[in-house]
Homo-oligomer: A and B are copies of this chain.
Amino acid sequence: MNLLQQIEAIVGANGLLQGEAVTARPNLSMGLGSCPAQAIVRPANTAELAEVMKLCHQHRQPVVAMGGLTGLVSGTACEPEHLGISLERMRNIEAIDEIAGTMTVEAGVVLETAQQAAKQHGWQLAMDWGARGSAQIGGALATNAGGNSVVRYGMAREQVLGIEAVLADGTVVTSLNEMLKNNTGYDLKQLFIGSEGTLGIITRAVLRLRPACDAVQTAVIAVDNFDHVGQILRQLGSSLEGKLSAFEVMWSSFTRLLIDDTGRHQKLFDDPHPYAILVESAGVDQAREAAHFEAVLGELLEQQLASDILIAQSSQQAAQIWAMRDDIEGMVHALFPPAAFDVSLPIRDMERYIQAVERRLTELQPQGRLLAFGHLGDSNIHLVFGPTENKPEVEEVVYSELVPFNGAISAEHGIGLDKRVYLHHSRSEIEIALMKSIKQAIDPHNLLNPDKIFL
């Protein structure tokens, strides 16, 4: 029997996709491309995956673990010699501890399914982003995903208590800790979180849930001075007592395009302002939350940190504001073809950074337009530039200008294939060498998601 026949004997016919069943699947996110892998294995459980990996190890067969294919850096792109691994059949929610607030899931569970299960038990899973309907927990953890609630709860890494993963040789590392505290030797789960499938394939996880907070308040704050943006972040972080759940800044380059130029969204304020901050707080009592939110925002006006404030009067109005913040389609359409970026750097340096990027990009492509917006509370900004004539040139500007500020070329999307050549702008040779020595120690034959992150 050849390798695929041996694998089929383990996972069954339903567990092995070949031919058109593979090519009909995309290779990248947004449904792009056609998967070129020689086959896709769909194990039904951890034991099957372990057996498959033992065979792959014997045959030195490289594999690419895939989640919901919603990543944005080609982190699950395959080559023809690869075998894809999809955990889409492993989608059991195995346990929910209602008292401690923990949930044990298989890696193929779709994010939205896990969110709903948490909600049904009176908790929330503090991981959320646009692709919630497709993204899988395994991929979310493998990429240490960010999203909408990082300013309050941290990234995916901070929602994990325990992990089970299969190593390149088929060893199953079961480290399904359920406790907030466990100081018994190295914290092995950290190896698998954020390493983009290069050190192990996550098969199960214990997630930490957070108390549900459904009393949401939403507002937009108009600000005329970037120093005030930082001061408002600091002040709301304190006065909202940990309930600050979103702090999204839209530079006027962003609002001008999406409100004034394209007319896609309603005007927020009578006068133009250089910055608009979308803020949210979330508590448990609607009336108390509304009063507190209004009082705290009123102080910003009194202190002249804010120039104007629009408090959403309904969840519909809040949704409209978010729709503008999330209007990727509007940006892509207006700036086609666009180049989009996900970078982080200290807030104190953001204005200088954006100005430096804008200056160099304007020299490069005078007709181009640069938009800035993002999760400022997490030090994370997104830049969109377009129309883009020469994407690598634009990328080099955006990433190299981060170096003086010790910024990150990826705040939340990861490195995958797309940002690999720029990794040196954010990590030193010594750091990259240390990453490689870990990779070498744990996956010496380079079988797991080869060539991703670094070469």
Residues in A lying within 8 Å of B, measured CB to CB:
97-102, 122, 143-144, 146, 150-151, 154-155, 157-158, 167, 171-188, 190-191, 193-195, 211-213, 230-231, 233-234, 237-239, 241-243, 283-284, 344-348, 375, 377-380, 406-415, 419, 423, 426-428, 430-432, 434-435, 437-438, 440-442, 453-454
Which B residues are in CB contact (< 8 Å) with A190? 187, 190-191
Which B residues are in CB contact (< 8 Å) with A345? 179
Most buried by B among A173, A184, A414, A454: A184
Which B residues are in CB contact (< 8 Å) with A187? 144, 157, 190, 193-194
A438 lies within 8 A of B186 (CB)? yes
Q: Determine the residue in chain B with the shortest Cβ distance to A190.
A: B190
Distance in angstroms from A287 CB to nearest chain B CB is 13
B182 lies within 8 A of A284 (CB)? no
Majority-rule SS of A interface residues: loop
A183 lies within 8 A of B348 (CB)? no
A181 lies within 8 A of B158 (CB)? no
Question: How many subunits of this chain does the assembly comprise?
Answer: 2
Q: Determine the residue in chain B with the shortest Cβ distance to A157.
A: B187
State A406–B434 Cα separation when bound (angstroms). Answer: 32
Which B residues are in CB contact (< 8 Å) with A100? 230, 346-348, 379
B430 lies within 8 A of A182 (CB)? no
Which B residues are in CB contact (< 8 Å) with A410? 182-184
Which B residues are in CB contact (< 8 Å) with A347? 99-100
A195 lies within 8 A of B184 (CB)? no
State A100–B247 Cα separation when bound (angstroms). Answer: 13
Known: A184-B427, A194-B186. A97 touches B346 (CB 8 A): yes
Nearest 7 A-B pairs (CB), nearest first? A441-B441, A190-B190, A99-B230, A179-B379, A211-B238, A181-B411, A182-B408
Distance in angstroms from A445 CB to nearest chain B CB is 14
A173 lies within 8 A of B411 (CB)? no
State A234–B415 Cα separation when bound (angstroms). Answer: 38
A101 lies within 8 A of B150 (CB)? no
The listed residue (B151, B172, B231, B437) touching A442 by CB distance below 8 A is B437
The listed residue (B173, B179, B242) touching A241 by CB distance below 8 A is B242
A98 lies within 8 A of B242 (CB)? no
Distance in angstroms from A337 CB to nearest chain B CB is 25
Which B residues are in CB contact (< 8 Å) with A184? 408-410, 415, 419, 423, 426-427
State A237–B379 Cα separation when bound (angstroms). Answer: 28
A180 lies within 8 A of B423 (CB)? no
B181 lies within 8 A of A380 (CB)? yes
B242 lies within 8 A of A344 (CB)? no
What are 25 pairs between A and B in contact, CB < 8 Å?
A: A98-B234, A99-B234, A100-B347, A101-B237, A151-B180, A155-B180, A155-B181, A155-B183, A158-B158, A175-B431, A177-B408, A178-B379, A181-B375, A182-B344, A182-B411, A183-B194, A183-B408, A183-B410, A184-B410, A185-B423, A186-B438, A241-B242, A434-B442, A438-B438, A438-B442
B157 lies within 8 A of A427 (CB)? no
A146 lies within 8 A of B453 (CB)? no
Q: Determine the residue in chain B with the shortest Cβ distance to A98.
A: B234
State A144–B345 Cα separation when bound (angstroms). Answer: 26
State A193–B191 Cα separation when bound (angstroms). Answer: 13
Q: Determine the residue in chain B with the shortest Cβ distance to A102.
A: B346
Most buried by B among A171, A178, A194, A413: A178
B284 lies within 8 A of A239 (CB)? yes
A431 lies within 8 A of B179 (CB)? no
Most buried by B among A100, A176, A409: A100
Q: Determine the residue in chain B with the shortest Cβ distance to A193.
A: B187
Known: A344-B179, A412-B181. A231 touches B194 (CB 8 A): no
Distance in angstroms from A177 CB to nearest chain B CB is 7
Q: Determine the residue in chain B with the shortest Cβ distance to A345.
A: B179
Which B residues are in CB contact (< 8 Å) with A175? 427, 431
Q: Determine the residue in chain B with the shortest Cβ distance to A374.
A: B181
A437 lies within 8 A of B431 (CB)? no
Distance in angstroms from A404 CB to nearest chain B CB is 13
B238 lies within 8 A of A183 (CB)? no
B348 lies within 8 A of A179 (CB)? no
Which B residues are in CB contact (< 8 Å) with A435? 185-186, 188
